[in-house]
Amino acid sequence: MAAAATTALAVTAAGSALTWMSVSLTTWDSDSKPQASCSYTPTGRGNPAGIPVFDAEKAARPLTATLVTDRGEVTLKALTGDAPCTTTSFSFLAGEGYFDGSECHRVTTRGIYVLECGDVKGDGKADPGYFFPDENLDGADYPAGTVAMAKAEPGRNGSQFFISYADPDVGMAPQWTPFAKVVGGMDVLREIGLAGTADGSTDGRPRKPVIIKSVVLR
């Protein structure tokens, strides 16, 4: 994300996929039907994991994912109706073992409160070998428990995502696709957030490494 908070505070990090902007906070969920097709564009670089194949019928099915980390388990309920392209991509990467062994490379502790993961390189520039457009941005917000895509460029989502472990203190523009919500393990996320960063800043690597050992899909 690239950005500035228009009402209060901007939180940025060099090389990071996230930057925050203003928006009012509401709640979200949906029973809407998935769209007919999704577009995944090869990049020809990065760490290729193959290209997802979108199946509208399969994409409509309920999906939960458990992030098994060395700090505890976090379970997510996918918003398959609102973000079918994103949830298809996430489940594809998880099924390929793409996230296994990767480190959650960023935590923020002021203004916004998120843990950012999904970057196998650990520098905020991971490329799974394809990108796809934003979706589910109409009225999007990012309260505690939100799981949304992180991106370095508008409309170019890949593998990186963030999880809000507390409600933000500043408004955030609806620019990052919400695709799941936390249904278990908020205590794990809060503990990671409260521990802060490795260098004592408000935006950096977690004080203690957070490694995704595996992602279990159900």
pLDDT at 16: 45
Q: Which fold has domain 62-217?
A: Cyclophilin (2.40.100)
The residue among 67 and 28 whose pLDDT is bigger is 67
pLDDT at 36: 57
Q: What is the pLDDT of residues 126-181, one digit of tens each?
A: 889 999 999 999 999 999 999 999 987 888 999 999 999 999 999 999 999 999 99
Cβ-Cβ contacts under 8 Å for 26 (sequence gap 6 or more) = 139, 141
Which tens digits make up the pLDDT trace of 175-212? 999 999 999 999 999 999 999 999 999 999 999 999 99
Looking at residue 4, what is its pLDDT?
32
C-alpha span between 209 and 184 (Å, rounded): 20
Three-class secondary structure of residue 148 per DSSP: strand
> Residue 211 class from Cβ within 10 Å (0-12 exposed, 13-18 middle, 19+ buried)?
middle
CA distances from 199 to 27, 202, 204 (A): 33, 9, 7
Query: Phi and psi (nearest 5°) for 207?
Result: -55, -45
List Cβ neighbours of 9 (8 Å cut-off, separation of 6 or more). Answer: 110, 111, 169, 170
Average pLDDT, the chain: 85
Question: Other C-beta atoms within 10 Å of 98: how many?
Answer: 23
pLDDT tens digits along 4-37:
333 233 333 334 455 433 222 223 333 444 455 8
pLDDT for residue 154: 80
Residue 170 Cα to chain centre, angstroms: 19
Query: Where do the domains of the chain lie?
Result: 62-217
* Confidence bin at 45 (pLDDT 50/70/90): confident
* Residue pair 190/206 in contact by the 8 Å Cβ criterion: no
The confidence score (pLDDT) of residue 126 equals 83
pLDDT at residue 73 tops 90: yes
Q: Are 150 and 34 in contact (CB under 8 A)?
A: no
User: Distance between CA 92 and CA 99 in Å, rounded?
Assistant: 11
